[in-house]
Amino acid sequence: MPVRGELFYFSLVLRLRNEKYARKRWRALEWDYDAQFIFKNHNHNKHYNTKTSVDLMKMLVVLVLLIGLMIFGCAGTYKSYASQGDVKFESGNYQGAIDDYTKAIELNQSIAELYQARANAKAAISDYRGAIDDYNKVVELNHSYIGVYESRAGARSTIHDYQGAIDDYTKAIETDPKDALLYSQRAYAKYYINDYQGAIIDATKAIELYPDFISAYQVRAVAKEELGDKQGASADWKIAEELINVPN
């Protein structure tokens, strides 16, 4: 799924850059102020010191506001790119979404949701290896991010990295052990690496969690066939066919 909600994170690089600019501007303002007020006697100097304190406080407030505007201005730009990417993704303009998410990431490289959104868009245009690279970045930034392991597993299965897919489905199951779909998907991955018994175990678990899971019966049937259990395979095919023919 694409990025949702408000995004209020600011990169350290932007903060340091803005603070450096503020310090340079502060020194310039101090120099301009000192150059304008040169007094020759003690009384004038006393007046100058008082006026300087008040005016410096005013300038400090202005500079604080200026820094805040610069920081929030940058954040708004990255946030707007993310929002534009969401709109384009929903409309089916996946390449446009990728471009916008990339711009958002250039402004803030620490938000896992941006990489997840771009990965999903890449997967939508069949750039599965590019998607996997972004899913890897999501895991690096937030290894507990919900959905990333299942998404990466799907991309890995598509490029025939079935063992990698199995590893990811296993991690996803650890987070949500009641998700029948995860067991069914892992069953297919195990089937493709010739782990037929493992496929049967996962498919059976999926069926326990969701008795009408057609694809779980199908993968269990083909796995049983590979192990020579023709009777068990026939029974699973029959149930799957009955479920397919059930009127909606």
Whether residues 10 and 119 share a domain: the answer is yes
Instruction: Give me the count of residues in the chain.
Output: 248
Question: Residue 64 — pLDDT band, cuts 50, 70, 90?
Answer: low
Does 38 have pLDDT greater than 80?
no
- 64 alpha carbon, distance to own chain's centre: 32
Whether residues 57 and 129 share a domain: the answer is yes
Question: What's the pTM value of the predicted model, to 2 decimals?
Answer: 0.68
Whether residues 92 and 115 share a domain: the answer is yes
Of 141, 166, 187, which one is at a domain's C-terminal end?
141
Of 141, 164, 183, which one is at a domain's C-terminal end?
141
Task: In whole angstroms, give the CA distance from residue 136 to residue 154.
Answer: 13
Of 141, 162, 191, which one is at a domain's C-terminal end?
141
Whether residues 11 and 39 share a domain: the answer is yes
pLDDT score for 216: 97
Does 231 have pLDDT greater than 80?
yes
More confident residue, 214 or 62: 214
Does 15 have pLDDT greater than 70?
no
CB 196 within 8 A of CB 223: yes
Task: In whole angstroms, give the CA distance from residue 42 to residue 49.
Answer: 11
Whether residues 102 and 118 share a domain: the answer is yes
Whether residues 123 and 152 share a domain: the answer is no
Domain count, the chain: 2
pLDDT score for 58: 55
Q: What tokens appear for 23 in the block?
A: 């310090």
| Residues 159-211 pLDDT 10s | 999 999 999 999 999 999 999 999 999 999 999 999 999 999 999 999 999 99
Report in angstroms the alpha-carbon separations of 29 from 57, 119, 184, 201.
12, 47, 67, 74
pLDDT score for 226: 98
pLDDT score for 52: 54
pLDDT score for 40: 37
Using alpha carbons only, give the angle 248, 246, 212 rounded to the nearest 5 degrees: 100
| Residues 137-163 pLDDT 10s | 999 998 888 899 999 999 999 999 999
Whether residues 136 and 152 share a domain: the answer is no
More confident residue, 27 or 80: 80
pLDDT score for 167: 97
Percent of the chain with pLDDT over 70: 69
Question: Residue 57 — pLDDT band, cuts 50, 70, 90?
Answer: low
pLDDT score for 35: 33
Q: What is the mean pLDDT of residues 85-105?
A: 96
More confident residue, 55 or 239: 239
Whether residues 93 and 173 share a domain: the answer is no
Whether residues 102 and 124 share a domain: the answer is yes
What's the domain range around 234? 146-248
What is the chain's Cα-based Rg? Answer: 30
Whether residues 136 and 157 share a domain: the answer is no
Whether residues 132 and 220 share a domain: the answer is no
Mean pLDDT lowest among 36-40, 50-54, 164-168: 36-40
CATH label of the domain that carries residue 46:
1.25.40.10
Whether residues 133 and 150 share a domain: the answer is no
Listed residue (191, 193, 198) closest to 218, CA to CA: 191
